[in-house]
A and B are shown apart, each in its own frame.
Chain A
Amino acid sequence: MSIEANEEFKPKIVAFCCNWCSYAGADLAGSSRLGYPADVKIIRVPCSCRVNPMFILRAFEKGADGVILCGCHPGDCHYSTGNFYARRRMTMLFSMLDYIGVENGRTRVEWVSAAEGVKFSTTMNEFVEKIHSLGKNVRLGDLRCRN
């Protein structure tokens, strides 16, 4: 029996959060003492539309098991229209990932406002659970980046 078999699967999850809504939402979740798993690593971006499809692919390449993008609700973007573009782009990218055979549960977009600490925490809990059920990401990782 190998050592690895004993190890509990700890997913690595990257969350891209927009500076104006979702990052503040995460803050609120923290100050409201709402829990979310420590597997989620938050990367702050100026706007959800700053997220280039490469960011998502690169996160997977470097060993992420799931990637979630959070931004302001459509219509509430700090830059007026950023999340509308992000929405179309991400739909295209996720559809393509699904097309090449990557489970579509590994990617997600959720709109979280600065007032929605509860939503942030439940979304993250749900997402981590989902990734737990999907298991380790073996289709997109780069072997050289594995430890």
Chain B
Amino acid sequence: MQELIARAKELLADGTVARVIGWKAGDLPYNPEPAYFEKEEDFDDFVYNSFCGANLSKLMIEACKLEGKTLVCLKPCDTYSFNQLLTEHRVDRDKAYIIGVGCKGKLDIERIKKQGIKGIKSIKGAEITDDAETLTIDTLYGEKTCAFKDAMLERCHVCKGKEHKIYDEIIGESKDTKDAERFAEVEKIEAMSPEEKFAFFQKELSKCIRCNACRNACPACSCRKCVFDSTKFDSQQKANVDSFEEKMFHIIRAFHVAGRCTDCGECSRVCPQGIPLHLFNRKFIKDIDELYGEYQAGEEVVERGPLTSYTFEDAEPGIVAERG
């Protein structure tokens, strides 16, 4: 982290960049937040630890409209999102200075809390430099421990790899964290009967409070005018009146990013209700892989994504029924 701060200060001082986008410490030990750093003294509360899960690539959309270059810290998975934004001409490569930061898996405070660890005062082992296998958590009720793997975000268990797809320089080391099959959860749901599927999604989606956090955090959701803000949309900016509204919201949200979603997992990470939103996105990714060939959005800057291209021999929609 010190190396990162020193380099950022250096680039800021010599005028290469006009501002830095990184994470600053929040009011609790586990909630750093994205922030702009423009002066040297701002860096006092700069942090980069295992709780910095936020994907900063979306902030570049607005930052690219500002004067001068912006330094942005991107984790390996965030670089996919940045590439995807480049594909869609939402960001300007010339206005970004990308520092690829190392990632050894990011932590999910909800998973720690679920293990009955409450009243957290401080957490040891979450610093990016220490390769801790276990976290030592100092709580109001004494010291508790928790395995790093058990506290990791879902997306880190199915990590796409620790290779930065786009960067100007790389600072820090990465460690592979993948230990699960990416589509395992989706396959489990696919194998259910229609009644079970419906009951599962009904249960999960009824928790939705329509805070729009999933939409707002998503780097692929970058339209300036969003369909969900339209007064014609039934579940516009309010709690759902009917169970169908939330389903419609979630289907449409996932559909609008289908073929563009890099599976960065921000939607699930930011959901205050803990809805596994990535299941929708991943289903689309799985279908695209199966029907139109393997495709990883954001792997490189491409001309056309799978839903904006076609072939004459594409599968007919009836395939859904045939597959059973």
Question: A residues touching B (Cβ–Cβ < 8 Å)?
Answer: 53-54, 57-58, 60-61, 74-75, 81, 84-85, 87-105, 107-109, 139-144
| Complex-state Cα separation, A143 to B245, whole angstroms | 11
Are A94 and B310 also in contact (CB < 8 A) when A57-B251, A101-B198, A101-B201 are? no
Nearest neighbor of B256 in chain A, beta-carbon distance: A53
Nearest neighbor of B200 in chain A, beta-carbon distance: A101
A91 close to B319 (CB less than 8 A): yes
Are A91 and B252 also in contact (CB < 8 A) when A102-B198, A142-B245 are? no
A-B contacts at CB below 8 angstroms, number: 110
A109 close to B251 (CB less than 8 A): no
Return chain A residues, CB-CB under 8 Å to B307.
Answer: 85, 88-89, 92
B251 close to A96 (CB less than 8 A): yes
Nearest neighbor of B245 in chain A, beta-carbon distance: A142
The one of B198, B252, B283, B314 that contacts A57, using a Cβ cutoff of 8 Å: B252
Return chain A residues, CB-CB under 8 Å to B317.
Answer: 87, 90-91, 94, 107-109
The one of A85, A96, A98 that contacts B310, using a Cβ cutoff of 8 Å: A85
The one of B287, B311, B315, B321 that contacts A104, using a Cβ cutoff of 8 Å: B321
Which residues of B from 270 to 301 have beta carbons under 8 Å from A?
280, 283-284, 287-288, 291-292
A74 close to B254 (CB less than 8 A): no
Stretch at the interface among B110-118, B139-147, B153-161, B189-197: B189-197
A95 close to B287 (CB less than 8 A): yes
Flag whether B306 is at the interface (Cβ < 8 A): yes
Return chain B residues, CB-CB under 8 Å to A81.
Answer: 310
7 inter-chain pairs at a CB distance below 8 angstroms, sorted by A residue, are A57-B248, A57-B252, A58-B248, A81-B310, A88-B314, A91-B319, A93-B251
B244 close to A99 (CB less than 8 A): no
Return chain B residues, CB-CB under 8 Å to A87.
Answer: 310, 314, 316-317
Nearest neighbor of A96 in chain B, beta-carbon distance: B251
The A interface is mostly helix, strand or loop, or mixed, namely: helix
Return chain A residues, CB-CB under 8 Å to B316.
Answer: 87, 91, 109
Residue among A95, A104, A108, A139 having the largest count of chain B Cβ atoms under 10 Å: A95
| Complex-state Cα separation, A132 to B318, whole angstroms | 19
| Complex-state Cα separation, A108 to B322, whole angstroms | 12
Flag whether B183 is at the interface (Cβ < 8 A): no
B321 close to A109 (CB less than 8 A): no
Are A99 and B197 also in contact (CB < 8 A) when A88-B292, A105-B321 are? yes
User: Min CB distance, B192 to chain A, in Å?
Assistant: 8
User: Min CB distance, B243 to chain A, in Å?
Assistant: 8
B241 close to A92 (CB less than 8 A): no
A74 close to B312 (CB less than 8 A): yes
User: Min CB distance, B182 to chain A, in Å?
Assistant: 16
Flag whether B6 is at the interface (Cβ < 8 A): no
Flag whether B234 is at the interface (Cβ < 8 A): yes
Return chain B residues, CB-CB under 8 Å to A141.
Answer: 244
B252 close to A109 (CB less than 8 A): no
The one of B200, B234, B254, B315 that contacts A96, using a Cβ cutoff of 8 Å: B254
A101 close to B320 (CB less than 8 A): no
Are A88 and B283 also in contact (CB < 8 A) when A53-B251, A142-B245 are? no
Return chain A residues, CB-CB under 8 Å to B288.
Answer: 92
Return chain B residues, CB-CB under 8 Å to A97.
Answer: 251
Are A92 and B255 also in contact (CB < 8 A) when A81-B310, A143-B242 are? yes
Return chain B residues, CB-CB under 8 Å to A74.
Answer: 312, 314
Return chain B residues, CB-CB under 8 Å to A96.
Answer: 251, 254-255, 280, 283-284
Return chain A residues, CB-CB under 8 Å to B198.
Answer: 100-102, 139
What 10 additional pairs, Cβ within 8 angstroms, besides A96-B284, A98-B320, A99-B190?
A: A57-B251, A74-B312, A74-B314, A89-B307, A91-B317, A99-B189, A101-B194, A101-B199, A139-B198, A142-B245
